[in-house]
Amino acid sequence: MTLARRDFSLGLVAAGLGGAGLVAPATAQQAWPAENVHYVRLEQPAPVAAVGKIEVVEFFWYECPHCNAFEPALEAWSKNLPANVVLRRVPVWFQETPFAAQQRLFYTLEALGLVPSLQRKVFAAIHNDRARLRTPEDMAAFALKNGADPIRFMTLYGSPAVAAQCQQARQLAEAYKIDAVPAMGVQGRFYTNGNLANTGQPAKGPAVGNERLLGVVDTLVARVRKAG
């Protein structure tokens, strides 16, 4: 369900157990979701960008196969969010290559207003078409192929504003102690990922696992809303 940080130096490999060291064994009698089993509370709250709303953060990596599998479920879920809940996507950085370039890719798409239309296409290019989106030349070719102005795209890609957003993303991931993706944060207070959300649950495939992850997020959003 998640790809762990320690696996990245080996390239794309089987799913790791990111965050597993944070949880206690689940029992048949345990409520779901349970704190310190299916999600954890941050000791130090992470910063929240949304004002007057509950912020849900998705931490992802374009080359992660589990993030790719999670994307359709997340997209469908995000279309039905209450008015007081906002989804924020954050590309992770664990080492310079390939994370830095793909962070810039995401924030360039965001600056151009193209995340809604091209986010799935980035995943498809990497996982279906086997494209290597790791260099500025790769990014420019992707932009041109998908109808974006490559000159404007590359100007933004190399801009100080995008660089600043990448740095903020790294700081937020550190605040949440992200070590695996896909992972979800709620209002700077709670953290979960695919492995945590599915701890002690019967294995029923990625689709069910993704539903459980989003179910934990829904529970945490309701908890934050109730607490005020």
Residue 17 lies in a domain: no
173 and 198 in a single domain? The answer is no
> 35, 165, 201: which is closest to 88 by C-alpha?
165
Average pLDDT over the chain reads 88
pTM of the full predicted structure?
Answer: 0.88
pLDDT digits (tens, 9 = 90+) for 131-176: 989 998 999 999 999 999 999 999 999 999 999 999 999 999 999 9
52 and 157 in a single domain? The answer is yes
158 and 52 in a single domain? The answer is yes
Alpha carbons 155 and 3: distance in angstroms, whole number: 32
**CA quadruple 111, 126, 205, 18: dihedral sign:** negative
**Phi, psi (5° rounding) for residue 159?**
-80, 155
Residue 219 lies in a domain: yes
Q: Residue 158 maps to which CATH number?
A: 3.40.30.10
Q: Pick the residue with more confidence: 77 or 16?
A: 77
130 and 102 in a single domain? The answer is yes
95 and 152 in a single domain? The answer is yes
Alpha carbons 109 and 64: distance in angstroms, whole number: 19
Amino acid at 214: L
**CA quadruple 197, 225, 169, 110: dihedral sign:** positive
pLDDT digits (tens, 9 = 90+) for 180-201: 999 999 999 999 999 999 998 8
Encoded tokens for 9: 């130096």
133 and 225 in a single domain? The answer is no
154 and 221 in a single domain? The answer is no
Say if CB 192 and CB 39 are below 8 A apart: yes
Say if CB 183 and CB 19 are below 8 A apart: yes
Residue 14 lies in a domain: no
Say if CB 23 and CB 199 are below 8 A apart: yes
Q: Residues 6 or more apart from 90 whose CB is under 8 A from it?
A: 57, 58, 59, 60, 169, 172, 173
134 and 163 in a single domain? The answer is yes
Q: Based on the structure, what is the number of domains in the chain?
A: 2
112 and 196 in a single domain? The answer is no
Residue 7 lies in a domain: no
The boundaries of the domain holding residue 204 are 192-228
Say if CB 1 and CB 209 are below 8 A apart: yes
On the question of pLDDT at 5 being above 70, the answer is no
On the question of pLDDT at 14 being above 60, the answer is no
Calculate mean pLDDT across residues 9-22.
36
51 and 133 in a single domain? The answer is yes
